Amino acid sequence: MYLLFAWRYFKAKKSTQAINLIAWTSMGAIVIGTASLILVLSVFNGFEGMVKSLYSSFYSSWRLTPVQGKTLVVQDKQLEAIAKIPGVTAFSRVVEEKALLQAGDNQAMVQLKGVDVAYPQLNRIDTLLVNGNYSMGTAEQPQAVLGIGVADALGVFADRNLMPLTVYLPKKTNALQLDWTNDIQTASLQTSGTFMIQQDFDNRYAIVPIQFMQVSLGLTDRECSSIEIATAEGVNSEAIRTSLQSIMGTNWLVQDRYQQNQSLYAVMRTERWIVYAVLSLLLVVAAFTMIGALTMLVLEKQKDISVLMALGTDRGGILRIFLAEGVLLAAGGGLLGMGLAALLAFMQIRFHLIPLQGGSFLIDYYPVALQWVDFVLVGITVLIIALMASWLPAYKASRTAFNLRAS
């Protein structure tokens, strides 16, 4: 019943044109605010999905690292148990260490990542090469696959292998300071190819055989700094975590892909909520115009209020009628805004209308990804702001009803 009265007031012709103008202005502001919120959140979804896709090309589904120290010994029975976990598709032992690479007069500090033969099964890095091929060479002539930024810094063509790289690595030692004459291992590496994933990886990593790293660092063939694991889609994450922790014991830290990049995802989530809060101010501004429109409507409908009171409507009923009026006004603007946002997002996805400016990037247009959660969030936000904006005019209407009854 209250919605029926509110709908009649909403569509009825007003005696003062200014009321209609203010009402349509407030609805237009809600349309713009709603559409802006959904579009910006959708752009964040697009960038977040793209970043996660890039990072998933390098980071594995799960990673096991020592709780203390850089390396730990892995037993064959532990590796066999990992392979038998339901959902595990591949795993690779890894030894990582910072190193200095030198090619002629050029030098670069890199993160050398020693991997075994199963590593390409984790992330298909062999399909992300821009030149050369994915080859680790032999024990006598180990080869490296360089990030494209590392190759540029060294000034080498990794696929041509014109000159070997000189590698400087710290030996395994308990000393607090390195003795450059005794604690630095020098070795040579050939190059086989160049990969390009994402700038952070391209400028920092070089992939080499795990045996090369173990020999250079003075490790045994059972020692590694991490174990990277790939799992099938849709597996039970908690079951995987429990199984891995049970197999490896308390000396190993079990991390999923989110935990491996927790700081990155935390920053992205924080930025998303900050933008959401800022753009919600557009809806707050629209709420002020809604207050004006509803207040003028209350003044115009005093006769109707007195009639309703005479028919037995109480103050609560009058309050609910004008609250419903505000909700209808906001709902109309919100639904139109959602429809407009969905249309613009579809056009951006289909036709790439808005390009990315300022430098080269992996794509040349703003990525957009619509999610139903954003529509629900924005819808609830619009509803809450509409109820808050409608409360004051509705309360004044109920006070008017009380005064009319008292007189």
Percent of the chain with pLDDT over 70: 86
The pLDDT tens digits of the residues spanning 156-210 come to 998 887 789 999 998 765 555 656 666 788 999 999 999 998 888 999 999 999 9
For 187, residues 6+ apart whose C-beta sits below 8 A from its C-beta are: 166, 167, 169, 212, 216
Average pLDDT of span 214-227? 92
Q: What is the DSSP string of 306-361?
A: HHHHHTT--HHHHHHHHHHHHHHHHHHHHHHHHHHHHHHHHHHHHH--SB--SS--
Element of type H or E holding 64 = strand 62-66
Per-residue pLDDT band at 315 (split at 50, 70, 90): confident
Q: Are 333 and 382 in contact (CB under 8 A)?
A: yes
pLDDT at 5: 52
Judged by average pLDDT, the poorest of 32-36, 257-261, 358-362, 398-402 is 358-362
Q: Are 93 and 74 in contact (CB under 8 A)?
A: yes
Per-residue pLDDT band at 113 (split at 50, 70, 90): very high
Per-residue pLDDT band at 8 (split at 50, 70, 90): low
Per-residue pLDDT band at 308 (split at 50, 70, 90): low
Average pLDDT of span 297-323? 71
List Cα–Cα distances, 61 to 49, 90, 198, 252, 258, in angstroms.
Answer: 16, 10, 18, 16, 9
Please indicate, yes or no, whether the overall pTM of this predicted structure exceeds 0.75: yes
Q: What is the DSSP string of 12-46?
A: SPPSSHHHHHHHHHHHHHHHHHHHHHHHHHHHHHH
Q: Are 139 and 211 in contact (CB under 8 A)?
A: yes
Average pLDDT of span 277-291? 85
Query: Mean pLDDT score of the chain, rounded to an integer?
Result: 86
pLDDT at 284: 87
Does 313 score more than 80 pLDDT? no
The pLDDT tens digits of the residues spanning 24-44 come to 888 898 999 999 999 999 999
Average pLDDT of span 293-317? 71
Q: Are 3 and 328 in contact (CB under 8 A)?
A: yes
pLDDT at 119: 95
The pLDDT tens digits of the residues spanning 123-140 come to 888 888 999 999 999 878
Q: Which two tokens stand for residue 74?
A: 């892995």
Judged by average pLDDT, the poorest of 5-9, 86-90, 98-102, 301-305 is 5-9
Per-residue pLDDT band at 397 (split at 50, 70, 90): confident
pLDDT at 323: 85
Q: Which residue has the tokens 């099964």?
A: 121
Alpha helices in 203-314 (DSSP H): 210-217, 237-248, 257-260, 262-300, 302-310
3-class SS at 144? strand
pLDDT at 19: 62
The pLDDT tens digits of the residues spanning 339-390 come to 999 999 999 999 988 888 755 456 778 899 999 999 999 999 999 998 888 8
